């Protein structure tokens, strides 16, 4: 097969090199003794001729182009009009994109919904999208520079290259910020310097995407100013480190993008708190209201440790307890019914031995719905989500009123088995039918790394550097127009 393709491709290139026939003997009546003028119809027919390959079926030629690959397929467009038509087929370049590292459905979603940048998102799903030029998209995606992604998070940081399949490093965020009493600029400078040192790269060599944790969730002037200042401080720190381009996007928005949506509600179970975030066309709707519940992954881990202590299961390390939680715990579909079942299971933790749990397996996560079990005077998760949905229903957002009926889970503890089903069941029971009809709760699309993968989608989109990034020059011009930024204080 390889030899056959080389012969076929050799004949194609030879035809391209020869081009039109050279001058021959003068035909009678031809001008200046040259060759006979070729009629337009003949010239058009000749431009569509494949020579000796005319007898080969078109579908076979298309298969040959697929086997040759994108580079040779692109070169073949210079041979003749017929090859140009074959090599420009949208299906051919969709095939090449499918062979790439990114899942096909994510590629089409990104190019349909995210190519215009953060300020413009068509509210359509990709199967209803206009026709895309996959050849152009392939060419642009091939030259998009590699990007460093930094997902700070509220408890743990994930960082790595956009061209890789997963983050290459993780660390505890709160340990990397330095002295909590130091100014925010200094803490962020220390944080990013640590990441670049661990990645062993110079800041000036590639763009960076920063995943912004959801801080200051109110829609007050003070909260808006704090969010703006935090974002501008990040830009200032990175540009002072000579980073060529910066893209900063909210964590919840990226988790939503990873699920192939631009509108919905993201329930992010963070390290210390849980946030219920309404998002419409890629924008956090602070004016509708972001609900927060004062318990997160740390509270779940601490509660499991208490339950284990009550059964005289000794374990001092919270890291070990967290590992046990991830391996054995789940969310009961019906808490009272689960109490009457046999739920014992065991797991091994490296260096710590075997641990056996029973009711603790589902009691741990039950505090998400019944916080009083863990001594928390907080609102249950299902009540916080239903309150957010009620606010969305009563808002004046233009568009299909079902935009908020898709709930996407995010955060490490949201990966607990049974959580999507339990939350959806509770919402169906709690909300009136005109709101609850059509509700879907989706598990984290990429587990604990959903926000990181949302950033990866953006970093590989064909228009990334133009549509999503802020360049150093642009930022400096903004400073000159708007006055100095007080970036050395919070």
Following DSSP, what letter does each residue of 203-228 receive, concatenated? GGGS-EEEEEP----S-SHHHHHHHH
Q: Give the per-residue pLDDT at 95.
A: 92
pLDDT at 181: 61
pLDDT score recorded for residue 88: 86
The pLDDT, as a whole number, for residue 407 is 97
pLDDT for the residue numbered 430: 96
Candidates 445, 486, 413; CA nearest to 156 is 413
Tokens encoding 24 = 């021959």
Q: In CATH, which of 1.20.1260.10, 3.40.630.40, 3.30.420.570, 3.40.718.10 is domain 265-444? A: 3.30.420.570
Element (H, E) at 231: helix 221-240
| Per-residue pLDDT at 53 | 63
Low-confidence ranges of the chain (pLDDT < 50): 20-35, 42-44, 121-129, 174-175, 486-490
According to DSSP, the β-strands at 406-410 and 345-349 are unpaired
How many other CB atoms are there within 10 angstroms of residue 164's CB atom? 12
Per DSSP, the three-state class of 332 is coil
Domain ranges of the chain: 43-88, 148-259+448-482, 265-444
- Pair of tokens at residue 349: 């933790």
Q: What pLDDT does 487 receive?
A: 42
Equal fold, 148-259+448-482 vs 265-444:
yes
* DSSP letter for each residue of 421-474: HHHHHHHHHHS-HHHHTT-EEE--TTGGGHHHHHHHHHHHSTTIIIIIPEEHHH
Q: What is the DSSP string of 15-28?
A: HHHH-S----SPPT
Question: Taking CA 127 as the corner, what is the angle to CA 123 and CA 131, rounded to the nearest 5 degrees?
Answer: 90
pLDDT at 196: 93
CA distance 73 to 236: 44
Query: What are the residues whose beta carbons fall under 8 Å from the beta carbon of 488, sequence distance 6 or more?
Result: 183, 184, 185, 186
What CATH fold (topology level) applies to the domain 148-259+448-482?
Answer: Nucleotidyltransferase; domain 5 (3.30.420)
The token pair that represents 31 in the structure block? 């001008």
Which of 292, 26, 254 lies closest to 153 in space, CA to CA?
Answer: 254
Q: Three-state SS string across 57-92, please?
A: CHHHHHHHHHHHCHHHHHHHHHCCHHHHHHHCCHHH
How many Cα neighbours within 13 Å face the side chain of 114?
Answer: 31
Burial bucket for residue 18 (CB in 10 Å: 0-12, 13-18, 19+): exposed
pTM of the model: 0.86
Q: What is the pLDDT of residue 64?
A: 81
pLDDT, residue 49, reads: 59
Q: In this prediction, what percent of the chain has a pLDDT beyond 70?
A: 82
* pLDDT, tens only, 355-407: 999 999 999 999 999 999 988 888 999 999 999 999 999 987 766 778 999 99
């Amino acid at each position: 097969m390889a030899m056959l393709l080389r012969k076929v491709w050799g004949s194609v290139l030879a035809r391209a090199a020869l081009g039109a026939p050279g001058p021959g003997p003068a035909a009678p009546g031809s001008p200046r003794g040259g060759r006979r003028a070729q009629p337009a119809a003949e010239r058009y027919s000749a431009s569509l001729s494949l020579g000796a390959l005319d007898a080969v079926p078109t579908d076979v030629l298309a298969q040959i182009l697929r086997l040759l690959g994108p580079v040779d397929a692109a070169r073949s467009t210079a041979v003749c009009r017929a090859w140009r038509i074959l090599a420009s087929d949208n299906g051919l370049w969709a095939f090449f994109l499918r062979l790439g590292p990114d899942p096909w459905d994510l590629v089409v979603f990104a190019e349909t919904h995210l190519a215009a940048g953060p300020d413009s998102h068509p509210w359509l799903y990709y199967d209803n999208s206009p026709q895309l030029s996959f050849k152009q998209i392939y060419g642009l995606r091939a030259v998009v520079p590699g990007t460093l992604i930094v997902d700070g998070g509220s408890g743990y940081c994930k960082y790595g290259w956009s061209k890789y399949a997963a983050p290459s490093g993780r660390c505890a965020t709160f340990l990397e910020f330095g002295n909590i009493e130091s100014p925010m600029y200094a803490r962020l400078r220390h944080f990013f310097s640590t990441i670049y040192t661990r990645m062993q790269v110079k800041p000036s060599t590639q763009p960076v995407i920063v995943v912004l944790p959801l801080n200051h969730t109110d829609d007050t002037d003070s909260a808006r100013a704090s969010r703006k200042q935090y974002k501008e401080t990040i830009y200032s720190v990175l540009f002072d480190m000579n980073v060529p381009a910066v893209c900063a996007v909210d964590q919840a928005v990226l988790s939503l993008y990873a699920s192939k949506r631009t509108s919905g509600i993201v329930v992010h179970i963070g390290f210390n708190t849980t946030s219920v975030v309404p998002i419409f066309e890629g924008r956090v709707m602070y004016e509708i209201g972001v609900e927060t519940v004062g318990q997160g992954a740390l509270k779940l881990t601490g509660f499991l440790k208490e339950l284990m202590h009550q059964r005289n299961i000794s374990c001092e390390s919270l890291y070990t307890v967290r590992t046990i939680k991830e391996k054995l715990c789940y969310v009961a579909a019906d808490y009272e019914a689960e109490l009457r079942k046999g739920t014992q299971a065991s797991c091994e933790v490296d260096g710590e031995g075997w641990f056996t749990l029973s009711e603790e397996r589902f009691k741990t996560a039950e505090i998400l719905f019944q916080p009083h079990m863990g001594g928390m005077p907080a609102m249950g998760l299902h009540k916080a989500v239903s309150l957010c949905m009620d606010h969305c229903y009563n808002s004046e957002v233009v568009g299909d009123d079902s935009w908020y009926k898709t709930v996407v889970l995010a955060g490490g503890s949201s990966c607990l088995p049974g959580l999507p089903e339990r939350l959806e069941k509770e919402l169906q029971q709690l909300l009136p039918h005109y709101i609850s009809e059509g509700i879907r709760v989706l598990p984290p699309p990429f587990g604990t790394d959903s926000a990181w993968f949302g950033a990866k989608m953006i970093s590989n989109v064909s228009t990334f550097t133009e549509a999503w990034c802020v360049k150093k020059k642009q930022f400096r011009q903004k400073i000159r127009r708007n006055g100095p930024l007080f970036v050395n204080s919070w």
